[in-house]
Amino acid sequence: NAGVTQTPKFQVLKTGQSMTLQCAQDMNHEYMSWYRQDPGMGLRLIHYSVGAGITDQGEVPNGYNVSRSTTEDFPLRLLSAAPSQTSVYFCASSSTGGWYNEQFFGPGTRLTVL
C-alpha cells in the first residue's frame, strides 16, 4: 500500500496563477481532509470530505476549492494564488471521521507564492 500520496512535492507560483494539489489514498478511507501548516500555528483544516460527492469547509477555506468524485482522490484547487497561501499543505485520510480514528497524512506539498 502506498498510503496517502501527494503531488507535487514542491511548487512555486506567481500571484494570480492557479493550480491543483493532488491527493490520493489507496486505503479505501471515506474521510479525507486538507490542512495547511504555517510556522508556529500547527495544522489548520481547509476543507474535508466524508465521502465521494460530499465536501465541507474547515477553519480556513477561503481561496481554496475541493471536489470528491471518487473515494481515492481529493484534489485541492487554488483559483488565484496569493502570497498568503505560501505554506506546507497536507492531505490526510481516515476510515471514518469519528473521534477515535487515526488520520494518515501524506508527505506534504511545499508551496511558495511570489
Q: State which residue, 41 or 114, has the beta carbon closest to other proteins.
A: 41
Residues 6+ apart with CB under 8 A from 70: 52
Q: Which three cell numbers stand for residue 22?
A: 493532488
Closest CB to other proteins among 58 and 75? 58
63 touches 82 (CB < 8 A): yes
CB-wise, 74 or 90, nearer to other proteins? 90
Which spans of this chain sit near other proteins (rule: CB under 8 A)? 4, 31, 35, 40-45, 48, 50, 56, 58-59, 90, 92, 97-100, 102-103, 105-108
We find the least distance from the C-beta atom of residue 68 to other proteins, in angstroms, to be 14
